[in-house]
Amino acid sequence: MKQRKKPFQCAPKEASPSLSHKSEKPSCSHWPQRLIPFRKIASVLAITLLAGLSSGYLLRLWWTPDLQTERSIALNLANAHHLEAEPLLTNLLKQNPKDIEILKALVVLQMVADRPQEADEYLARWCKLEPDNPTPLTTRFELSARLFRYQTAVACGRKLLQQDPALSAVRRKLMWIEVRTGQLEEAIKDAEDGLSQQPKETDYLHLLAHVSHLQGEWDAANKHLDDLFAQSEHFLPAILLRGTILCETNQFQQAIPYLDRVIRDDPLPENQQKARYQLAQAFYRLGRTREADEQMAIWQRHENALRTVIDAYQQPSNFDLRLQAGKLLLETGQTARGIAVLKDLLSQDPNQAEARRLLENQIRK
């Protein structure tokens, strides 16, 4: 019967004529003769390292209550949107960069402080730590779009849709970002995928019509618009597109009611401006120059107002320009925007009498 060796037991070394009597002692085959003196050092090393690790861990446990207290205070402050929490949170994050709660609080704080770029940095870290968590991914998707970081927005949007293809709001936003970045094929695919889930969703049909128009395929665009109008006759972006296509295909008379309606009903000044320009083009081609000039004069007033608002906010200390922007917005019928600009101005400089007067007039109205 074969004799079994005891596990982990060193076998006695076979006698060798060249070995001295010292080497005749039983020895372990794992440890060559010349390394035997280090065996003790290794043992000491292992034991003390183990002891150190254990002590360190215990020390950490003993220390943690303080960190926990600091963390709780910081998180409570952050939850109450106190910006004083920021240095505490960043310090805590340095000690534990994987603390999701801290990252989340920092994101919220940066958003409260209107520092979207800093918020995005923390969001990126959060997304990396929790790649499958839709919360940071959705927030980063929205924020990246707002910051014009379309590449990141598209990556986040695609990942969100991979996780949940039924996220219709994400899909609809993503496909328009793809159009803006020239990824038409991807946009079309997203719209078609969306339509397969929601065949009556007008936004998908509008996108397909829009992309066909961009590609100069008017017939295809019109077909998508027909499908869309079968769902909703009142979808204003589609009405604008129909009017534009009619203009571009020299059907100026037919374009006029569509464009008129957008100017009348669409609350978005940008869409109104597009419609005004196309309407003016239609009038010029029909020889109705006076009406065309009138439309362009309105277009110009709105354009001036829009530009002045942008210029005013780019020069924060130029209160005169901001007052002018508010005035122009009110004059062009953009009352809500005008009031917002004037209120903002008064919050920074309460002595702006003209702004106060304009605002009071609006309130009386």
Partner 1 sequence: MNRFLFAGVGLVSLAVGLWIGFFAPSMKPVSPDNSSEKAESLDWEPHHLAPSPGYPWLIDVTRSAGIDFIHNGHATPDHLIQETLGSGIGWIDYDNDGWPDLFCVQVGTVASPRSSEPVPTHRLYRNLGNGTFRDVSAETGVNISAYGMGVEVGDYDNDGYDDLLLSELTGVRLLHNEANPQGGRRFKDVTSSSGLANLHWATSCAWGDIDRDGLLDLYVAHYVKIDHDRPAKCRDIQSGLPQSCTPTAYPHVAHRLFRNLGHGTFEDITDSSGISNVPPAPGLGVVMIDLDDDGHLDIFVANDMKPAYLFHNNGNRTFTERAIVSGCGLSGNGSTMAGMGIAVGDLDGTFRPSLFVTNFQNQPNVLFRNLGGLRFSDGSYPSGLGLASLQRLGFGTALLDADRDGRSDLVVVNGHVNRHAKEIDGSTFEQHAQLFAGLGSGKFQDVSHRAGAYFNTKYAGRGVAVADYDRDGRLDLAISSNGGPAILLRNETRNANRGIGLRLQGDGIRSNRNAIGSRIEVATNKSKRVFFVHGGGSYLSSGDRQVLVGLGEDEAISNVLVRWPSGKTQQFRSLLANEEYRFIEGNDSAVLEHTNKP
- Residue with smaller CB distance to partner 1, 44 or 169: 44
281 binds partner 1 per the rule CB under 8 A:
yes
- Contact string 236-255 vs partner 1 (x = CB under 8 A): --------x---x-------
152 binds partner 1 per the rule CB under 8 A:
yes
CA distances from 65 to 62, 71, 94, 281 (A): 7, 10, 17, 73
181 binds partner 1 per the rule CB under 8 A:
yes
Least distance (Å) from partner 1 to the CB of residue 142? 14
Main-chain phi, psi angles of 115, to 5 degrees: -120, 70
CB burial of residue 356 (10 Å; 0-12, 13-18, 19+): middle
Least distance (Å) from partner 1 to the CB of residue 19? 24
Collapsing DSSP states into helix, strand and coil, what is residue 6? coil
**And the tokens for 251?**
């059907």
Inter-residue contact 312 to 325 (CB < 8 Å): yes
Q: Which stretch binds partner 1 (CB under 8 A): 3-11, 17-25, 27-35, 42-50?
A: 42-50
- Residue with smaller CB distance to partner 1, 123 or 205: 123
69 binds partner 1 per the rule CB under 8 A:
no
Q: Which of residues 292-351 bind partner 1 (CB under 8 A)?
A: 292, 296, 299, 303, 307-308, 310-311, 313-316, 321
Options 24, 84, 121, 226; binder of partner 1; rule CB under 8 A: 121
Q: 75: Cβ–Cβ under 8 A, 6 or more apart, which residues? A: 85, 89, 101, 102, 105
- Residue with smaller CB distance to partner 1, 318 or 362: 318
Least distance (Å) from partner 1 to the CB of residue 256? 15
264 binds partner 1 per the rule CB under 8 A:
no
Q: How far is residue 275's CA from residue 352's CA, in Å, rounded to a whole number?
A: 36
Helix/strand/coil percent split, the chain, to 5: 75, 0, 25
Q: Which of residues 201-220 bind partner 1 (CB under 8 A)?
A: 213-216
